[in-house]
A and B are shown apart, each in its own frame.
Chain A
């Protein structure tokens, strides 16, 4: 996704009540994170589960969070999502970078990239894929779910190779 769009997505979520942006970086969303650093709103953790735990603590304090990660980190987080986020019904927006979306992405991402949609489905974690055209609609959808106290996921495709 274009640099400008990623920055717009950050600004839009930040201006609409998301106060904390916590996670482990992914190159897929580099510009989103850079924009967050400019606003001094990014907290980087050592692992994705830790980020979710901190976001839960902030949510318990009435402050909304987005947790960002690569899909490798999403796989790390499955048990935390089921036994913490979903068990206590904590509203968090997950932003997940979809490595392995392109068939010729690096080999370590192939398997997780392939099963990612199934994992989300198995968890019953609602998700939408962000695109250049629909990002605002998808962000509004996520913000609405947060207001309803439900967790949800926004997916950013890794649409380039390096």
Chain B
């Protein structure tokens, strides 16, 4: 399973709920697979998707908030796990698309195949699920519907695929339409 396939499976399972997506190919894939007003594409500020997601989750307790993160992104902001695990938002689902590489910058390695990110997250009060296949991915998103967060789903993916196009929406427009979608 490559990232784009995984993203398209997850998007189908989560309905209209807000998504905050990490910079680089994750946001680009999401934009190409399913552009919607409730996607907040974080095109810069690497590492902060989960922090933005925490802020949105704490203020929108009736909605389930999804963060689409990468392994390089979360490794850059591991402190976020501490803060999320302390605030314990029941409505936050943190999805890590993990290919153990910085694919957006040319495929350089990250350390997620040498350490256990799931164990770190578990120790910070997350409920952690790890999947490798499309079937497991579909099933886990069914399963977590009734489980309170913070939840981490680590999706092991392969590198590769055609590079998705850049997001051609003005950042302020991304913001405005996301804010309007939260009001509904």
Interface residue ranges, A against B (CB under 8 Å): 43, 45-47, 49-63, 79-80, 82-84, 87-90
**B2 CB within 8 Å of chain A:** no
Q: Does B179 lie within 8 Å of A60, measured CB to CB?
A: yes
Q: Does B79 lie within 8 Å of A58, measured CB to CB?
A: no
Output the residue of A47, A49, A59, A61 with the most chain B CB within 10 A.
A61
Contact with A along B53-90 (1 / 0, CB 8 A): 11111111000000000000000010110110001000
A-B contacts counted at CB < 8 A amount to 103
Q: Does A58 lie within 8 Å of B59, measured CB to CB?
A: yes
The interface residues of chain B lying within 8 Å CB-to-CB of A47 are 77, 79
Please tell me the number of chain B residues within 8 Å of chain A, measured between CB atoms. 34
* Beyond A47-B77, A61-B56, 10 extra complex contacts between A and B, CB < 8 Å: A45-B51, A50-B77, A56-B48, A56-B51, A57-B20, A57-B53, A57-B56, A87-B43, A88-B172, A89-B172
A72-B142 Cα distance, complex, nearest whole Å: 45
The interface residues of chain A lying within 8 Å CB-to-CB of B53 are 57
Near A by CB (< 8 A), chain B positions 166-180 give 171-172, 174-175, 178-179
**B161 CB within 8 Å of chain A:** no
A84-B43 Cα distance, complex, nearest whole Å: 8
The interface residues of chain B lying within 8 Å CB-to-CB of A52 are 48, 51
Q: Does B44 lie within 8 Å of A83, measured CB to CB?
A: yes
**B131 CB within 8 Å of chain A:** no
**B45 CB within 8 Å of chain A:** yes
**B120 CB within 8 Å of chain A:** no
Q: Does B55 lie within 8 Å of A56, measured CB to CB?
A: yes
Q: Does B178 lie within 8 Å of A60, measured CB to CB?
A: yes
Q: Does B48 lie within 8 Å of A80, measured CB to CB?
A: yes
Q: Does A49 lie within 8 Å of B171, measured CB to CB?
A: no
Q: Given A46, A51, A58, A83, which contacts B82 in the complex, CB threshold below 8 Å?
A: A46
